Structure 1
């Protein structure tokens, strides 16, 4: 007769934690084996449920499409621990435009509920599909209020644009991410890197890494702006990476300020690098870049990418 002895609880809990590497910042899709395994552990016993739910809130809140966002918010009254979600992937729009006031309100409420605990946000939303002149339902203002409330955010990735929400005056506007005092890691797509952009980067209290994919280069004296407007004595090392290809990124035109080669500034406070992204299909289309950056962001590997420097 075979006897099946239960495993010690400590061993079971250790198994749960081993599903995710120590220090992991990944965000897993609902179909991921890790997500499914954690959901299974919520059914074993009270203690495994507690640990698994905590890890689910940290690594498996994937709100895409919009139906998941609405279901998540409707569950908060009966599951208040959902407010403690610390990492989030958000892609709630089922159409190519954000001109949808109800969805904008849902997003704003999500951020109001979670802004105390939310630390990492990967967003895939077509914000530039609605310009201010056509925003008759005040959608952009609703979204901007929600994003501005994320005062504890430490990592932010925008897969489709540069978080285009702030009103512009004479073609210029201050970025929404300037409202986030604890922001350390920032990744944007096709950001317009003008004076206001670099001034805003310089004034960030805690920046460590900046990843710019297919950025629109509009200014050359980057080093001057960063050093003149930042408190370099109190700042940790800032690493800036540009992702693109030679045709769209004539970075050498920025002179001594930035080239494709590694450029480390005095006291190693600022490091700038340009990378030619090599992936299947290359970075010749905007879709290829967005897919690649979005996948790396969800895997938690975007901040440590090692691209290939092009040959001169």
Structure 2
């Protein structure tokens, strides 16, 4: 009898004082404020980051929350640093495309429903063992970039493109990657942390190198405003041709570039007919490194080219590998997004 009486009492209490209920719209409104504002958000948060883990957990909470949580997850957390994560992302996009309940905001392409809606930023480092000689991964990169090309605006890559020479590329991996990156005509920010994105390959029929216009990829991106490259050669003709073609370029970041002390960037830029275009150029290296000009001419009135120097800090003992130090530093800066990238570069110059 006592148990039944207690049960009746609890039922009365729950009926008279039900648990507070939040409308779904209010819950979704709160979830929208979990990521930072777009102007301060990173390009991609790591899988271990609390933001990624929170949004992933929310996608598993309820059907009402799932669309909002997924949108935020795919907007802020596309961090692909292994072949496994690359395959998982492709599987997720395919499953989303096959879901009849999933909204499709973009028009179909090639008779297939679009899977991308909010995938605007990506960190891509899928190759292991410091080599691109991995055909399945290269093909997966092509599939991924083909899907994301309509909306992808910001991209940071860490891909060892120099690890496979054109004459040793028997599987055509460089050709596959070149076709993949050529599609990214919506890119506004691009950083190649390790090397330039030079993807020369041998012709099948005549066995010769492709020309400049087909080997250099980034000049084909018409919206590009911020470009960061590692170990460029300022004496390279195709570098200058590419810069002349990229008409919307506003910020150029050259980490440990060659020929910095032999070629005066401002003079060469103007001599090639670009004097009317504004451009901020950053030369980044450790203090005293070869990638920093010995002297920099002061900017004169009417001069639209601004030369800046970023000195990567070293440890007290100075025992780091300078190459890895600079590559990791510029990658970390670029992942902060355009505004954060600019702020960190200014901090390097002080």
Provide TM-score, normalisation by structure 1: 0.85
Counterpart of 2:221 (choices 180, 198, 211) is: 180
What secondary structure, in the 3-state scheme, does the structure 2 residue paired with 1:192 have? coil
Identify the residue that residue 27 of structure 2 maps to in structure 1.
Answer: 12
Q: Which runs of 5+ in 1 are unaligned?
A: 253-258
CA RMSD of aligned residues (A): 2.8
Matches of 1:230 and 1:48 in 2, distance apart? Answer: 54
Question: Which residue number in structure 1 is paired with residue 270 of structure 2?
Answer: 227
1:83 to 2:83 alignment:
no
After TM superposition, the structure 1 = structure 2 runs for residues 138-177 of structure 1, keeping only pairs within 5 Å, are 138-167=172-201, 173=212, 175-177=216-218
* Structure 1 position 308, deviation (Å): 4.3
The CA deviation string for residues 258-311 of structure 1, in whole angstroms up to 9 with x for no partner, is x357x435535321111221144767521111222222222323333224459x
**Equivalent residue for 1:256?**
none
Judged with a 3 Å threshold, the aligned counterparts in structure 2 of structure 1 residues 136 and 210 are, in CA distance, closer, same or farther, namely: same
Match of 1:255 in 2: none
Q: Does the alignment pair 1:273 with 2:308? A: yes
Once the two structures are superposed, the pairs formed by residues 205-284 of structure 1 within 5 Å of their partners are 205-217=247-259, 220-229=263-272, 233=276, 235=277, 237-245=278-286, 246-249=288-291, 251-252=293-294, 259-260=295-296, 263-264=298-299, 266-267=301-302, 269-280=304-315
For residues 281-296 of structure 1, the aligned pairs below 5 Å read 285-296=322-333
After the TM superposition, which residues 45-60 of structure 1 pair with which residues of structure 2 at under 5 Å, given as runs?
Answer: 45-60=62-77
Which position in structure 1 is the counterpart of 2:45? 28
Inter-partner Cα distance in structure 2 for 1:16 and 1:195: 50
How far apart are the structure 2 equivalents of 1:12 and 1:210? 42
After superposing on structure 2, the runs of 4+ consecutive aligned residues of structure 1 that deviate more than 6 Å are: 168-172
Bigger Rg over Cα = 2
**Count of residues paired in the alignment:** 301
* 1:192 maps onto 2:233 in alignment: yes
How far the C-alpha of 1:66 sits from its partner, in A, is: 0.5
Report the Cα offset of residue 60 of structure 1.
Answer: 0.3
CA deviation after TM superposition for structure 1 residue 24, in Å = 3.3
TM-score, scaled to structure 2: 0.76
1:28 is displaced (CA, Å) by: 0.3
